[in-house]
């Protein structure tokens, strides 16, 4: 098993089983999220755990593509102090760490964006969030309904897989697709990455 397998195998899970998440696992997921690094260690976040089914259903209507929240075992809603680029990056890091922490326990998750913008106020009212705070994302959380829950349905318009490494990475300057030869410490010969 590759050391990075946990990270590589993380997929969006939108269908969930009825199996409950034990409290110690949920607390570990939340506590791992709490340890996320943030810009200047400002930790500009609060988390709301939602288990109430009616609230989950109402939340699922606060996002154009957030329907999966209705069937999640629970949601973790990210409440952020700001909407500047650094805080948004902090939010992304927090979300990814929560997802990875869940996945380390075999628990699946998927982001539900609170979108378009006017639905944010609805989510605030639903969860009693003060108007000076931001709520852009809720995470559906639960054990996957089965192996098919890790794959997109065949008719999904969302692309599958990932772009090729060669297409994504440049070396030294934008667009250089091959790494330049590396000088060896002895000064002779060269090696290239393949």
Ligand X SMILES: Cc1cc2nc3c(=O)[nH]c(=O)nc-3n(C[C@H](O)[C@H](O)[C@H](O)COP(=O)(O)O)c2cc1C
Kindly list the residues in this chain that would bind ligand X in the complex (CB under 6 A).
11-12, 14, 63, 65-66, 68, 110-113, 158
- Burial, 158: exposed, middle or buried (Cβ in 10 Å; 0-12, 13-18, 19+)? exposed
| Residue 92 beta carbon to ligand X: minimum distance, rounded to whole angstroms | 7
In the bound state with ligand X, the residue whose beta carbon lies nearer, of 161 and 189, is 161
134-142 and 45-50 as β-strands: parallel, antiparallel, unpaired?
Answer: unpaired
Structural element, H or E, at residue 31: helix 23-34
In the bound state with ligand X, the residue whose beta carbon lies nearer, of 146 and 175, is 146
Helix (H, G, I), strand (E, B) or coil at 91: helix
In the bound state with ligand X, the residue whose beta carbon lies nearer, of 85 and 189, is 85
| Residue 66 beta carbon to ligand X: minimum distance, rounded to whole angstroms | 5
| Residue 110 beta carbon to ligand X: minimum distance, rounded to whole angstroms | 5
Angle at CA of residue 46, ends 41 and 142, nearest 5°: 115
In the bound state with ligand X, the residue whose beta carbon lies nearer, of 119 and 129, is 119
| Residue 38 beta carbon to ligand X: minimum distance, rounded to whole angstroms | 17
In the bound state with ligand X, the residue whose beta carbon lies nearer, of 78 and 129, is 78
| Residue 82 beta carbon to ligand X: minimum distance, rounded to whole angstroms | 17
Q: How many CA atoms lie within 13 A of 158 on its CB side?
A: 8
Which residues have CB under 8 Å from 14's CB, separation 6+? 68, 110, 140, 149
């Amino acid at each position: 098993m590759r050391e990075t397998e946990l990270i590589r195998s993380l997929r969006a899970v939108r269908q969930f089983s009825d199996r409950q998440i034990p409290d110690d696992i949920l607390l570990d997921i939340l506590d791992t999220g709490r340890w996320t690094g943030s810009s200047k260690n400002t930790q500009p976040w609060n988390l709301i755990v939602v288990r109430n089914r009616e609230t989950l259903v109402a939340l699922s209507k606060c996002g154009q593509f957030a329907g999966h929240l209705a069937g999640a075992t629970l949601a973790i809603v990210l409440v952020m102090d700001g909407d500047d680029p650094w805080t948004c990056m902090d939010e992304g890091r927090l979300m990814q760490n929560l997802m990875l922490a869940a996945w380390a326990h075999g628990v699946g998750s998927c982001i539900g964006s609170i979108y378009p913008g006017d639905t944010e106020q609805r989510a605030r009212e639903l969860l009693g969030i003060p108007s000076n705070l931001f709520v852009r994302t809720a995470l559906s959380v639960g054990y996957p309904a089965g192996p098919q829950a890790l794959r997109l349905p065949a008719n999904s318009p969302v692309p599958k897989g990932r772009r090729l490494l060669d297409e994504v990475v440049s070396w030294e300057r934008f667009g250089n697709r091959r790494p330049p030869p590396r000088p060896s410490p002895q000064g002779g010969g060269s090696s290239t990455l393949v």
